[in-house]
Amino acid sequence: MNFQKIKQLMPITIKWIFICSLIGIFSGSASAFFLVSLEYVTQVRNHNNWIIWFLPLGGLLIGYLYYYFDSKIAKGNNLLLEEYNKPEKKIPFMMAPLVLVGTLITHLFGGSAGREGTAVQMGGAIADLFSKIFTLNHSERRTLIILGISAGFASVFGTPLAGAIFALEVVFFNKINFRGIVLSFLVAHIAYYTVEFWEIKHTHYSIPAVPEINFTILFWISIASILFGLAALLFARSTHFWGKLFSKNIKYPPLRPFIGGVVLAITIYCIGTTKYIGLGVPMIVNAFSIYNAPYDFLLKILFTGFTLGAGFKGGEVTPLFFVGATLGSALAVIFPLPIALLAGMGFVAVFSGATHTPIACTVMGMELFGMESGVYIGIACIISYFFSGSIGIYKSQIVKGPKAILYQSIRKKGLKYF
């Protein structure tokens, strides 16, 4: 490359590094504020369980806010994917404060939801602000959306490599240019270190014992991974089922989370426990050392699917961690594998299946649990990915390749559920 070419590229390179810095710092700071606020409202709820009775009113407020400002924003992560697949209109910046407020209300009053969706949507809305400031074209807007997803994911979970890969993998079967790949890693690390700057601590997990791999171990890992994939399929279908049920039978959108809140509050009171609401991080941590009941993961699927389907806000990923870790922990009772290994495998494998992102989930597992478990994590993520069905939690995600071909042939045989 000659000097003239380098001279031409310098302004473009500086511009994108500047954009990455802005997105990373603003998204990382937004995630830091969100994580602190989320911890605060969770503690308030934990010390005042009576507040769960206000869940219907919280749902009504969320429903009205989205209905009043822009119902399109309610698509959440799917809106980001739609705009990436076919850039048309700017992502409304109101998505960021609305999803932040909606998620905090959901967790304050006892809904079962996660945090990834919130951070990713805030990141996407913040990133798309710069499309007008810098007068970017459709291709460059696609890059911005990748950067927003990457920054949001990396900052909220403390996994910059997985965040960068997730942003690329979730849109893999659409157009990705080399610029987007490089900048995704850059912005993920800027967002990650921004959260570190604000001294926000992420939850730590560990897999202390990793057995030597052999055919017997591979057999049990394969069986467990198939079950993780089926759990991912059930989670995705549950969320879509409740969403369709509410939208079909309750025409006025603000009433959906209100009625859903009534049902949730009564149900939580009747079962006499709050361990299936909120993020469920204590349950996830305990799953690495304490055997879970075989129905824990099913109840989390039910509570989360109903909460999000009714119109409450939050992400799906932390509940997916809960489902995978508790299922793995329950399987450890009968499978001859260490409980922490099964919980860790389930933690990322169910996520892999539900989002069609086995590479990002494998990297995330190694970032969270260490390189020693990488082979087991990778096998679990790939098998779960293939056994999780053709539709994940993001309905607007484009799925092609071997998995799409596999499920096309399955549906031709009459197995339409997959």
pLDDT in tens, the chain (418 residues): 566 766 667 888 999 999 999 999 999 999 999 999 999 999 999 999 999 999 999 999 999 999 998 778 989 999 999 999 988 888 999 999 999 999 999 999 999 999 999 999 999 999 999 998 898 988 899 999 999 999 999 999 999 999 999 999 999 877 788 889 999 999 999 999 999 999 999 998 999 989 999 999 999 999 999 999 999 999 999 999 999 999 999 999 999 999 999 999 999 999 999 999 999 999 999 999 999 999 999 999 999 999 999 999 999 999 999 999 999 999 999 999 999 999 999 999 999 999 999 999 999 999 999 999 999 999 999 999 999 998 899 999 988 877 877 777 776 666 665 5
> CB-based contacts of 275: which residues, under 8 Å, 6+ apart?
282, 283, 296
Exposure string (b/e) for 330-369, b if CB count within 10 Å is 16 or more?
bbbeebebbbbbbbbbbbbbbbbbbbbbbbbbbbbbbbbb
- Please state the domain extents for the chain: 11-197, 215-412
Q: Model-level pTM? A: 0.96
What is the per-residue DSSP string for 15-36? HHHHHHHHHHHHHHHHHHHHHH
pLDDT at position 250: 97
What is the per-residue DSSP string for 258-277? HHHHHHHHHHHHHHT--TTS
Contact between residue 190 and residue 146 where contact means Cβ atoms under 8 Å apart: no
Tokens 């890969």 locate to 165
pLDDT at position 176: 81
DSSP letter, residue 214: -
Q: Tokens in use for 344?
A: 């860790």
Indicate the residue type of 239. T
Virtual torsion, Cα 81, 82, 88, 90, nearest 10 deg: -50
pLDDT at position 7: 65
DSSP letter, residue 93: T
Tokens 């017997």 locate to 216
- For the chain, what is the HEC assignment? CCHHHHHHHHHHHHHHHHHHHHHHHHHHHHHHHHHHHHHHHHHHHHHCHHHHHHHHHHHHHHHHHHHHHCHHHHHCHHHHHHHHHCCCCCCCCCHHHHHHHHHHHHHHHCCCCCCHHHHHHHHHHHHHHHHHHCCCCHHHHHHHHHHHHHHHHHHHHCCHHHHHHHHHHCCCCCCCCHHHHHHHHHHHHHHHHHHHHCCCCCCCCCCCCCCCCCHHHHHHHHHHHHHHHHHHHHHHHHHHHHHHHHHHHCCCCCHHHHHHHHHHHHHHHHHCCCCCCCCCHHHHHHHCCCCCCCCHHHHHHHHHHHHHHHCCCCCCHHHHHHHHHHHHHHHCCCCCCCHHHHHHHHHHHHHHHHHCCHHHHHHHHHHHHCHHHHHHHHHHHHHHHHCCCCCCCCCCCCCCHHHHHHHHHHHHCCCCCC
CATH 1.10.3080.10 for domain 215-412, yes or no, is: yes
* Fold match between domain 11-197 and domain 215-412: yes
Indicate the residue type of 373. S
pLDDT at position 6: 65
Q: Tokens in use for 355?
A: 């989002």
Dist. CA 132–CA 5, nearest whole Å:
27
DSSP letter, residue 201: P
> CB-based contacts of 83: which residues, under 8 Å, 6+ apart?
89, 91, 128, 141, 145
Of 3.30.70.890, 1.10.3080.10, 3.30.1360.40, 3.40.50.300, the CATH number of 11-197 is: 1.10.3080.10
Q: Tokens in use for 246?
A: 């509410």
Alpha-carbon dihedral sign for residues 350, 268, 49, 100: positive
